[in-house]
Amino acid sequence: MDISAVNALSYEDFVNIFGNVVEKCPLITAAVWTSRPFISLNALEATINEFIDALPESGKEGILRCHPDLAGRDLHSGTLTRESREEQARAGMDALSSAEASRVARLNEEYKRRFGFPFVICARTTDKTRIWRELSERCQNARAAEMARGIEEVKKICRLRLQGLVLSDAPNKL
Amino acid sequence: MDISAVNALSYEDFVNIFGNVVEKCPLITAAVWTSRPFISLNALEATINEFIDALPESGKEGILRCHPDLAGRDLHSGTLTRESREEQARAGMDALSSAEASRVARLNEEYKRRFGFPFVICARTTDKTRIWRELSERCQNARAAEMARGIEEVKKICRLRLQGLVLSDAPNKL
Superfamily of chain region A3-62+163-167: Oxo-4-hydroxy-4-carboxy-5-ureidoimidazoline decarboxylase (1.10.3330.10)
Catalytic residue among A67, A138, A159, A161: A67
What value of ipTM does the predicted structure carry?
Answer: 0.94
Write phi, then psi, for A173 (nearest 5 degrees).
Answer: -90, -10
Q: Kindly report the nearest CA distance between residue A55 and chain B, in angstroms.
A: 7
Contact indicator for A81, A39 with CB cutoff of 8 Å: no
Query: Can you tell me the distance from the alpha carbon of A128 to that of A133, in angstroms, rounded to the nearest whole number?
Result: 9
**With an 8 Å Cβ cutoff, are B30 and A63 in contact?**
yes
Q: Kindly give the residue spans of alpha helices, DSSP state H, lying in chain A.
A: 3-7, 11-18, 26-32, 41-54, 57-65, 73-77, 82-90, 98-115, 128-138, 143-167
> Where are the CATH 1.10.3330.10 domain residues in chain B?
3-62+163-167, 68-149
Are B27 and A59 in contact by the 8 Å Cβ rule? The answer is yes
Q: Residue B15: left (phi > 0), alpha (psi -120 to 50), or beta?
A: alpha
Architecture of the domain spanning B68-149: Orthogonal Bundle (1.10)
Q: Which CATH superfamily is domain A68-150 in?
A: Oxo-4-hydroxy-4-carboxy-5-ureidoimidazoline decarboxylase (1.10.3330.10)
In our burial notation (b when 16+ CB lie closer than 10 A, e otherwise), range B87-115 reads bbeebebeebeeeeeebbbebbeebbeeb
Q: Tens digits of per-residue pLDDT, A123-153?
A: 998 888 999 999 999 999 999 999 999 999 9
Residue type, A55: L
Tell me how far CA of residue B140 lies from CA of A79, A108, B103, B137, in angstroms.
43, 52, 16, 6
Could you give the residue range(s) of every CATH 1.10.3330.10 domain in chain A? 3-62+163-167, 68-150
Contacts of A23 in chain B (CB under 8 A): none
Residue A118 to chain B, least CA–CA distance (Å): 10
How far is A12 from A109, CA to CA, in rounded Å?
37
Closest by Cβ to B24, choosing from A26, A65, A117: A26
d(CA B123, CA B56): 26
Determine the pLDDT at residue A173: 44
Angstrom CA distances, B136 to A57, A62, B75, B95, B99, stand at 40, 37, 21, 20, 15
What pLDDT sits at residue B112?
97
Residues of B that are catalytic: 67
Q: Is residue B59 a contact partner of residue A27, using CB atoms and an 8 Å limit?
A: yes
pLDDT at A167: 86
Mean pLDDT of the residues in chain A: 94
Q: Say whether A76 is catalytic.
A: no
pLDDT in tens, B50-69: 999 999 999 999 999 999 99
Which residues in chain B are contacts of A59 at CB distance < 8 A? 27, 31, 51
Chain A residues lying within 8 Å of B33, measured CB to CB: 61-62, 65, 116
User: Which residue type occupies B114?
Assistant: R
**pLDDT tens, residue by residue, A41-56:** 999 999 999 999 999 9
**B62 to chain A, closest Cα gap in Å:** 4
Q: Give the pLDDT confidence score for residue A169 in this predicted structure.
A: 60
Q: Which residues of A touch B (CB under 8 A)?
A: 10-12, 15, 24-35, 51, 54-59, 61-66, 112, 116-117
- Tell me which residue in A11, A31, A117 faces B59 most closely, judged by beta carbons: A31
Share of chain A above pLDDT 70, in %: 97
Are A21 and A160 contacting, i.e. CB atoms less than 8 angstroms apart? no
Low-confidence residues of chain B: pLDDT under 50: 170-174
Q: Which of the residues A14, A58, A64 would you substitute to probe the B interface, choosing the one with the greatest number of B C-beta atoms within 10 Å? A: A58
CA atoms within 13 A on the CB side of A18: 28
Mean pLDDT of A8-12: 97
Please give the Cα distance from B20 to B29 (Å, whole number).
8
Give, in degrees to the nearest 5, the angle at Cα A140 between A134 and A145. 85
Q: Distance between CA B80 and CA B66 in Å, rounded?
A: 11
pLDDT, tens digit (0-9, with 9 covering 90-100), for B70-85: 999 999 999 999 999 9
Please choose, from the candidates B2, B6, B55, the residue with its C-alpha nearest in 3D space to the C-alpha of residue B35: B6
- What distance separates the 2 farthest-apart alpha carbons in chain B? 50
Average pLDDT over every residue of A94-106? 93
CA dihedral angle for residue B1, residue B3, residue B6, residue B8, rounded to 10 degrees: -120
Which one of A10, A16, A27 makes the best mutation probe of the B interface by having the most chain B beta carbons within 10 Å? A27
CB pairs under 8 A between A and B: 101
